[in-house]
Amino acid sequence: MKTPAYVWHNGRIKPFAEASVGVGAHALHYGSSVFEGERVYATPQGPMFFRLRDHTERLFHSARVYDLNVGYSADEIDQACAEVVLANKLGSAYLRPIVYRSGFTFSLAPPLETQVDVAVIAIEWGSMHGAAALEQGVDVCVSSWNRAAPNTYPSGAKAGGNYLNSQLIAREAVNGGFVEGIALAPGGLLSEGAGENLFIVRNGKIYTPPAGASILCGITRDTVMTLAQEMGYAVHEQPMPREMLYFADEVFMTGTAAELTPVRSVDRKPVGEGKPGPVTKALQRAFFGLFDGSTEDHWGWLTPVQAR
Ligand code: PMP
């Protein structure tokens, strides 16, 4: 990954190499960081954040779970995001705000005033699984690794430590020749991908696992559910067994990084006709239409990248 020229770190823009983390940082040892992934899209109206405030709010919610004091207001974090995009002169971007316990301590319950640092990284990044994946779909497997039980570490908080589980899921998939792994929840029902939410289309209806299935409630998931309902589809958040993947007419995954990626096979079994289906394609058109203006943004999801 190409490093950007500048990063926002603890209140100001600085050269990327100057924003460093110490070897004693609590977050490095124990995963005590929370972060976001969010995008700026190039639109006919110029570069626009997509659902910036929703991401910032989720960052604060995640921080609450681990008693991380962000030390900045939501407005200040939004502004930091704008500043780092502008500093790097990016017309479109993937942003990574991160709040992490940087102080040196081996305590598992460190004093709440132990230092917390905040950074926002912005890079140019196309879709996570590549442009061809968006068009042709990807081959996935069901992982032998489960998502974490809700009473272990919560999937709803987007914390660095959670991504050990995601790394196991993704690595196993890649080693097996797949693009991504779909994990089951502790009870054996469908959960989500290593870094994406999961959707199934069957008989014209759309299904996705519920919050209780150890998922991160994705902002792209919410976007797609909203667009689908507006287009007249019935959308059901419900627990589903693994075999629903094999009965599905269509399967797709959503995420800020993965955007809306069709799944063309699961465990080497083709999904439907083994290529993206009509519902997936219609939803992709609606989603990407938000950024070329062909889908009207009447939710106020797009906000311009501007300095205060
Ligand atoms: N689940 C996991 C585990 C993720 O890492 C992500 C990416 N943030 C998602 C789902 C999708 O979330 P969002 O649409 O908010 O990016």
**pLDDT tens figures, 49-59:** 999 999 999 99
Q: What is the CATH number of the domain that holds 81?
A: 3.30.470.10
Question: Ligand 1 atom 13: the closest Cα is on which residue?
Answer: 218
Measured CA to CA in angstroms, residue 5 lies from 17, 90, 91, 304 at distances of 8, 11, 15, 22
Ligand 1 proximity of 219 Cβ (cutoff 6 Å): yes
What would the pLDDT profile of 246-301 be if each residue is shown by its tens digit?
A: 999 999 999 999 999 999 999 999 999 999 999 999 999 999 999 999 999 999 99
* Residues 141 and 119 occupy one common structural domain: no
> Where is the domain boundary, 103, 123, 143?
123
Q: Into how many domains does the chain fold? A: 2
Is 158 catalytic? The answer is: yes
Query: Strand, helix or coil at 227?
Result: helix
299 lies in a domain?
no
* Residues 156 and 287 occupy one common structural domain: yes
118 lies in a domain?
yes
* Residues 119 and 135 occupy one common structural domain: no
* Residues 186 and 89 occupy one common structural domain: no
* Residues 146 and 44 occupy one common structural domain: no
Ligand 1 proximity of 37 Cβ (cutoff 6 Å): yes
Amino acid at position 273, single letter: E
* Residues 217 and 277 occupy one common structural domain: yes
Contacting residues for 248 by C-beta, under 8 A, at least 6 apart: 200, 201, 202, 271, 272
| Ligand 1 site-directed mutation target among 35, 128, 146, 197, most atoms within 8 Å of CB | 197
91 lies in a domain?
yes
Cα angle 48-49-53, degrees, rounded to a multiple of 5: 145
* Residues 283 and 183 occupy one common structural domain: yes
How far, in Å, from the CA of 219 to the mean position of ligand 1?
Answer: 7
* Residues 135 and 279 occupy one common structural domain: yes
* Residues 277 and 142 occupy one common structural domain: yes
87/193 Cα distance (integer angstroms)? 33
The pTM for the full model equals 0.98
> Where is the domain boundary, 78, 94, 123?
123
* Residues 98 and 233 occupy one common structural domain: no
56 lies in a domain?
yes
What would the pLDDT profile of 132-184 be if each residue is shown by its tens digit?
A: 999 999 999 999 999 999 999 999 999 999 999 999 999 999 999 999 999 99
Range of the domain at 16: 6-123
300 lies in a domain?
no
Ligand 1 proximity of 196 Cβ (cutoff 6 Å): yes
**Is 95's pLDDT higher than 90?**
yes
* Residues 76 and 217 occupy one common structural domain: no
* Residues 163 and 79 occupy one common structural domain: no
Q: What is the CATH number of the domain that holds 275?
A: 3.20.10.10
250 lies in a domain?
yes
ipTM confidence score: 0.99
